[in-house]
Amino acid sequence: MAAIGLAALLAARSPLGPDYSGPVHPPCDCPGAAIRALAHGDVHRFLEAQPVMGPVSLALRAPFAALGLHLGDGSERTLYRFGVFPCLLAAGLLGAFLFARMRERRRAALACLLVPALVAFNPLTTRALNFGHPEEILAAALCVAAVLAASRGRPLPAGILLGLAIATKQWALLAALPAAFAERDRPVRLLAVGAVTAALLMVPMALGDLHRFVELNRGAGIVGAGAMPTNIWFGFGHDVPVVLHASGPSSPPRAIPEALGAISHPLVLLVGAALALAWWPRRRTAAPEDALLLLALILLARCLLDPLTNSYYHLPFLVALAAWEGLRREGPPLITVTASLFLGLTISFASGGVSLVDLNRFYLLWTLPLAALLAMLAYAPRRAPAGLPGSAWSGRIIGARRCPEEEVLRWRD
C-alpha cells in the first residue's frame, strides 16, 4: 500500500519531461509518440515511432496511458503521468521486498526505513522524472531484482527479470554477469533465459521496422563528440556553443575527440566485463548478495566512462548500492546516504552557476574515491582500513559464510 501510494503521489506531481515529447526521427529517445500510438492500439505507428529504448517500459506504460485518454484530458502531460506510475511502482515494490528481508534479518529500525526509502525515492528519482525518463527507474529495479532472485537460487525468474531489464534499457547488459555470478549452481541457465526473454521482446521491434531499429541501436552504441561535465573525458575536450531549446540546453557543452566518443560505450561494456571477471575468484567465498556490490561498482564505472552522463544515470548505481548495504551491512546505509548527499550537491552546483570545469573537478573528487572504496569492499573486504564505511566500525560487513539465520531463511524459502 505504501508503494502504491508513493508511486501515485509522485506520478501525480511529475512535470512533463522534455525528453518525453519530441521529434520521432533518429536518434530519438522521446517515447511520447510511441506510447500514444500503442495506447490507441496503432501498432504500426508504434513501430514507426519506436525510440532509443527497449519495448518493455513502452508496453507497460501504454495501458496506463490509455486510462489517461479516457479518465483525463488526453494531454501529453496526463499520459506521461499515468505512464510514470508503473515505473515508480516497480521501485516501490522492490523497496517493500527489501524492507521485509531486512526485518526478517533483524536489521536496525533506522536501516529498515532508510534503505527502502532510498530505493523507492531518492534525489535522482525526481531528476529522472523531470527529464522524462521513468524507464530508468524501471530498469534499475529490474536489474537489482534479477540479482536478488539469482542470490536466492532462482535462475528462471532471475533470467526473466534480467531479460526484461535489457529489453527496457540497453545499459542493463551490465547486470548480466553480476546476476549470473549471484547464481551459484546454474549461471548458464540464467543467462540463457535472459537472452531468450530479451530476444522475444526485441525481435518484434526489429521485424516491425528493421531500418529504424538498427539505426537507433547503432546510435545508442556509438556516441558523438559531445561531453557532459560528469565523467572522466570532460578534461580532454574544449568548450563549444550550446544549442538552446525552449525546455533548456539540448546539446553537450564540450566537444571531445571523435575517437574517444567512438570507444566510450564499448569501453563501458569491456570495463564492466573485466570488473565482473575479476570478481570470479571471490564467487565461491562471498555471499551471493555481494553481487549487488559488484553491480553497483560496474554501474558507477559506467557513469564515469560515459561522455554523456546525466544526473539520473546514477540512479541504477544508487539503487544497487542501497540494496547491498541493506542486506549485507549492519547499521545504517552510510555509503548510500553519503553518495546521495554528494549527488545532491553535484546537482545543486550544476544548477547554481558553478563553472563546468569546477563541476567536473568536484564530481571526480568524490566519485573516484568512492569507486576505489567499492572496489576494495568488493575484492578485498578484509583489507578495508578501519574508519572507512564498510570496515570494522559502525557498518560491519557480515561474514562471507551464511549465518545460521540466513540458512534457515533460505531453507524456508
Grid cell at residue 248: 533548456
> Which one is predicted more confidently, 214 or 320?
320
pLDDT value for 221: 61
Q: Where are the domains of the chain?
A: 2-238+251-412
Q: Is the pLDDT of residue 240 over 80?
A: no
User: How large is the average pLDDT for residues 67-86?
Assistant: 92
pLDDT value for 407: 42
User: How large is the average pLDDT for residues 291-295?
Assistant: 96
pLDDT tens digits along 243-260: 655 444 466 777 888 888
User: How large is the average pLDDT for residues 150-158?
Assistant: 94
pTM of the model: 0.89
| 242 HSE (CA, 13 A, CB side) | 14
pLDDT value for 390: 45
**Spatial separation of the C-alpha atoms in residues 143 and 149, rounded to whole Å:** 10
pLDDT tens digits along 205-233: 888 877 777 777 766 666 666 788 999 99
Average pLDDT, the chain: 86
pLDDT value for 22: 73
pLDDT value for 244: 55
- By mean pLDDT, which of 142-156, 330-344, 347-361 is the weakest? 347-361
> Which one is predicted more confidently, 390 or 146?
146
pLDDT value for 377: 94
Q: Is the pLDDT of residue 411 over 70?
A: no
pLDDT tens digits along 356-388: 899 999 999 999 999 999 999 999 887 665 545
pLDDT value for 219: 62
> Which one is predicted more confidently, 237 or 141?
141
User: How large is the average pLDDT for residues 21-50?
Assistant: 83
Cis omega before residue 27 (within 30°)? yes
Is residue 78 within 8 Å of residue 95, measured between CB atoms? Answer: no
User: How large is the average pLDDT for residues 9-14?
Assistant: 94
Give percent of the chain above pLDDT 70.
Answer: 87
pLDDT value for 408: 41
Strand-by-strand arrangement of the 254-255 sheet: 226-227, 254-255, 238-239
pLDDT value for 249: 47
- By mean pLDDT, which of 131-145, 231-245, 325-339, 377-391 is the weakest? 377-391
pLDDT value for 58: 94
pLDDT value for 188: 93
Q: Is the pLDDT of residue 94 over 60?
A: yes
Q: Is the pLDDT of residue 143 over 80?
A: yes
